[in-house]
């Protein structure tokens, strides 16, 4: 029996491998469009190529990289493919990737000021930058959460604790939460995880534009109060996942002020567009919110995960999330910010670095130019749909997400319009050239093209449209 090799650090071996990986990364970014956007694998096919048991002995790096290239890469959905128009983007960009490399090498755990002073302060600085870019008032303070789903859960927990702390004897079972029927499903999930009873989570009706009806919100709150319940929290959406519909936040904020309810604004995707002076209206009313989330990993070229969570009063957050132990104590606890107290996780990656690299590399004006171009391309695509017989827009193209549908099946037998569009989507995505998602708006199945990648050009959008037309 040979003695197993003790793992050790060989910086020069790492250097050679890191250069090899750097080349692979650059090749991938250059060649990503050669892959089908989605692979044609079936569940279990990747797994079947991998051993069930871990290797007892060390394996060569070249063999691992070869398996990565042979088994993993062809089995990925390529989110950075220029034909990826699904969901909302999970972005990447060269400066963000470079920063992720540095974050990985530093390997710091940024739970407290003292465990990572520079990471903590860079998070304060970059979220201060983002606050200014979004035109949020000075009173707002930001912290990076991993995702908008987490941010929403954090908002619900904070709102819940504030409501229960205010009126002792109240139970979470009496609390009610409000969002629109077009809100992301993670809002309902977040409320449930925070302990709100499913039957106390109200999905408020939306208008023809898929925006929350404020009179319906008011009526529901009044009915809940009349029933002896305790209205607690409203989540309004700026840019719904379905169709980037925009709730009337100023009017909702006024209701929340009057009713003393927590207002969380979910601007995960669309919020980034508020860095454009001409789109700043998107966040009108947000200055009155208690919390707000915008995801730089969606439309600001920052790698997933990086969700910017802003609160009007950090003390409310700290009341729910601050907790410590002797081992965590530091002489700087009074003066340095401990971001572990601002959310669920004790452990935190150094995520501010990529935000810093991205904002500096492109400058605010560069990021503005990109979002402006994406909005122009969204409107351009919508104009093509509108001009095309057999297609219709399923709503206005507000930002860079366009919902549309095929309305006639050509000369063949008449098809159910939903089935027609589901079938079209299946065929488009199977082509490997584009990837779109479908959704339901007011009960009707529609296709949805969403822009937002660094790489998206007018040429890509035009190709996508040609693929869609040919598919139909």
d(CA 154, CA 193): 10
| Among the listed residues 448, 452, 465, 472, the single contact to its own copies using CB under 8 A | 448
CA distance 131 to 72: 38
Which of residues 349 and 406 has its CB atom nearest to its own copies in the complex? 349
Of positions 136, 143, 144, 153, contacts its own copies by CB under 8 A: 153
Closest contact distance (angstroms) between CB of 251 and its own copies is 26
* Residues from 63 through 102 that contact its own copies (CB under 8 A): 63-64, 68, 71-80, 86-87, 90-98, 100-102
CB of 87 to its own copies, least distance (A): 7
Give the separation between CA 240 and CA 246, rounded to whole angstroms.
Answer: 7
Choosing from 34, 168, 185, 413, the residue that interacts with its own copies (CB under 8 A) is: 185
Cβ-contact 302, 279 below 8 angstroms: no
Query: CB of residue 317 vs its own copies: minimum separation in angstroms?
Result: 12
Among residues 61, 318, 380, 388, which is the contact residue for its own copies, using CB under 8 A? 61
Residues 190-219 that bind its own copies (CB under 8 A): 192-195
Stretch (H or E) spanning 256? helix 249-259
Q: Per rule CB under 8 A, is residue 136 in the interface with its own copies?
A: no
Task: Report the distance separating Cα 361 and Cα 97, nearest Å.
Answer: 12
Give the residue with the Cβ less far from its own copies, 255 or 461.
461
Binding of its own copies by 8 (CB under 8 A) = yes
368 binds its own copies (CB under 8 A): yes
Q: How far apart are the first and last CA of the chain?
A: 65
Our finding on whether 283 is near its own copies (CB under 8 A) is no
Residues 58 and 8: beta-carbon distance below 8 Å? no
Whole-angstrom distance, CA of residue 197 vs CA of residue 191 = 8
CB 179 within 8 A of CB 164: no
Residue 24 sits at φ, ψ, to 5 deg, of: -60, -45
What is the dihedral sign for C-alpha 336, 342, 346, 351? negative
Contacts 24+ apart (CB under 8 A), 383-390: 384/465, 385/465, 388/469, 390/472
Q: Which of 225, 257, 258, 360 binds its own copies (CB under 8 A)?
A: 360
Candidate list 117, 137, 139, 390; residue touching its own copies; CB under 8 A: 117
127 or 214: CB nearest its own copies: 127
- Selected range binding its own copies among 206-214, 217-225, 229-237, 433-441, rule: CB under 8 A: 433-441
**Torsion sign, CA atoms 298, 301, 304, 308:** negative
DSSP conformational letter for 152: H
Q: Does residue 227 contact residue 200 with C-beta atoms inside 8 Å?
A: no
How near is the Cβ of 318 to its own copies at its closest, in Å?
12
Instruction: Note whether 33 binds its own copies by CB under 8 A.
Output: no
Closest to its own copies by CB, 344 vs 419, is 344
Residue 6 binds its own copies, judged by CB under 8 A: yes
411 binds its own copies (CB under 8 A): no
Shortest distance (Å) from residue 20 CB to its own copies: 9
- From residue 382, alpha-carbon distances to 233, 243, 375 in Å are 36, 13, 11
Site string for its own copies, 306-335 (x = CB under 8 A): --------------xx-xxxxxxx-xx--x
Q: Closer CB to its own copies, residue 119 or residue 283?
A: 119
Minimum separation from the CB atom of position 124 to its own copies (A): 6
Q: Does 293 bind its own copies (CB under 8 A)?
A: no
Least distance (Å) between residue 377 CB and its own copies: 12
Nearer to its own copies, 150 or 237 (CB): 150
Instruction: Note whether 160 binds its own copies by CB under 8 A.
Output: yes
295, 296, 302, 306 alpha-carbon torsion, rounded to 10°: -50
Q: Which residue is associated with the tokens 């379905």? A: 242
Q: Which of 144, 419, 160 is nearest to 300 (CA)?
A: 144
186 binds its own copies (CB under 8 A): yes
Per the CB < 8 A criterion, the answer to whether 176 and 229 are in contact is: yes
| Of the residues 176, 180, 188, 230, which one makes contact with its own copies according to CB under 8 A | 188
Interface of this chain with its own copies, residues 223 to 242, rule: CB under 8 A: 241-242
**Shortest separation between residue 253's beta carbon and its own copies, angstroms:** 26
Between CA 72 and CA 49 the distance in angstroms is 10
Site for its own copies in 340-359 (CB under 8 A): 344-347, 349, 353, 356-357, 359
Please report how close the Cβ of residue 257 comes to its own copies at its closest, in angstroms: 27
Site for its own copies in 236-275 (CB under 8 A): 241-242
Q: Among 13, 219, 223, 419, which residue sits at the site for its own copies (rule: CB under 8 A)?
A: 13
CB atoms within 10 A of CB 355: 28
Distance CA 140, CA 97 (A): 28
| Cα 155 to Cα 158: distance, rounded to the nearest angstrom | 5
Positive/negative CA dihedral, 426, 432, 433, 435: positive
């Amino acid at each position: 029996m040979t003695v197993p090799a003790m793992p050790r650090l060989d910086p020069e071996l790492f250097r050679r491998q890191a250069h090899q990986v750097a080349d692979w990364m650059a090749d991938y970014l250059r060649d990503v469009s050669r892959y089908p956007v989605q692979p044609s694998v079936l569940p279990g096919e990747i797994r079947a190529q991998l051993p069930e048991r871990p290797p007892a002995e060390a394996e060569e790096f070249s063999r691992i990289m070869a398996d990565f290239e042979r088994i993993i890469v062809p089995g990925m959905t390529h989110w950075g493919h220029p034909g990826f128009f699904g969901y909302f983007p999970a972005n990447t960009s060269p400066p963000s990737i470079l920063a992720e490399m540095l974050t990985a090498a530093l390997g710091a755990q940024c739970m407290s000021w003292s465990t990572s002073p520079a990471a903590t302060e860079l998070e304060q600085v970059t979220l201060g930058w983002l606050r200014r870019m979004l035109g949020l008032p000075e009173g707002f303070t930001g912290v990076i959460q991993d995702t908008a789903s987490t941010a929403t859960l954090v908002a619900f927990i904070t709102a819940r604790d504030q409501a229960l702390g205010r009126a002792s004897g109240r139970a979470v079972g009496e609390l009610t939460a409000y969002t629109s029927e077009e809100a992301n499903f993670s809002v309902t999930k977040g409320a449930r995880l925070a302990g709100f009873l499913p039957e106390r989570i109200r999905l408020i009706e939306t208008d023809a534009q898929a925006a929350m009806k404020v009179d319906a919100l008011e009526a529901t709150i009044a009915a809940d109060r009349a029933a002896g319940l305790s209205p607690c929290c409203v989540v309004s959406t700026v840019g719904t996942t379905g169709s980037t519909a925009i709730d009337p936040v100023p009017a909702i904020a006024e209701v929340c002020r009057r009713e003393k309810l927590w207002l969380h604004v979910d601007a995960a995707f669309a919020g980034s567009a508020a860095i454009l002076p001409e789109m700043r209206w998107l966040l009108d009313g947000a200055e009155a919110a208690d919390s707000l989330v915008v995801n730089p990993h969606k439309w600001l070229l920052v790698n997933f995960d990086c969700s910017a969570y802003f609160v009007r009063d950090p003390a409310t957050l700290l009341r729910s999330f601050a907790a410590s132990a002797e081992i965590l104590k530091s002489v700087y606890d009074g003066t340095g910010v401990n971001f572990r107290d601002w959310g669920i996780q004790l452990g935190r990656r150094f995520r501010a670095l990529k935000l810093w690299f991205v904002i500096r590399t492109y400058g605010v004006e560069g990021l503005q130019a990109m979002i402006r171009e994406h909005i122009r391309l969204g409107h351009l695509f919508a104009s093509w749909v509108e001009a095309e017989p057999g297609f219709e827009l399923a709503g206005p193209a507000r930002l860079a997400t366009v919902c549309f549908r095929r309305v006639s099946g050509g000369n063949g037998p008449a098809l159910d319009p939903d089935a027609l569009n589901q079938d079209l989507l299946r065929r488009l995505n199977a082509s490997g050239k584009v990837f779109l998602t479908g959704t339901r708006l007011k009960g009707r199945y529609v296709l949805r093209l969403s822009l937002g990648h660094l790489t998206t050009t007018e040429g890509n959008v035009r190709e996508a449209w040609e693929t869609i037309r040919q598919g139909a």
